[in-house]
Amino acid sequence: MIALLPIDISHRETIAGWLHDTRVSKWWGDPSGRLEQFDETGPDNHALIARGGTPIGYVRWEMVDPDALASVGLNEIPPRSIDIDIFIGATDAAGRGAGPEALELLFARLVETTDAPLAGLCTSVENTRAHSAFRKAGCERLTDFDDPTYGPCHVFVRYLR
């Protein structure tokens, strides 16, 4: 069974190890920058993904920045929407359904705790494993854009309202 567990600074080393794994860094980029992002994320905006109480991944979310969206031409995303980043870091847990289950839990939380119209996830057009996971979690591909760091990306969304 998958759960979203509260996260704090004591989990930083685990997250750092996963971010330095090439399976994760290939899609998440520079581990140092992502660790800074981890440090700056409030406790109510990220969680450990756990199976049977054992951490296997990480998910973070934040309200979209309309200016950042406009700068890359993503005008289809309404204000107050939520941007989600997720990965399964434990090698033996990848590809076993934890990502879609974690997203379902997060979507339910967002429906209860926000007035966000939708939640979105962006990933490289080459990250087919993530595309499959997002679709299993009820997301649909909304559009594409060219990310200045990651290149061509798909935008997947799940409507919350």
When divided into structural domains, the chain yields a total of: 1
Mean pLDDT throughout 32-48?
94
Report the distance separating Cα 14 and Cα 54, nearest Å.
11
- Give yes or no for a contact between 69 and 79, defined as CB atoms under 8 angstroms apart: no
Please tell me the predicted confidence (pLDDT) of residue 20. Answer: 96
151 is in which domain, residue-wise? 2-159
**Exposed/middle/buried for residue 44 (C-beta within 10 Å: 0-12, 13-18, 19+):** exposed
**CATH number for the domain harbouring residue 137:** 3.40.630.30
Report the distance separating Cα 3 and Cα 105, nearest Å.
8
Residues 6+ apart with CB under 8 A from 109: 4
- pLDDT digits over 90-139, tens only? 988 887 889 999 999 999 999 999 999 999 999 999 999 999 999 999 99
- Give yes or no for a contact between 4 and 59, defined as CB atoms under 8 angstroms apart: yes
Ranking 8-12, 16-20, 119-123 by mean pLDDT, the lowest is 8-12
Which pTM value belongs to this model?
A: 0.94
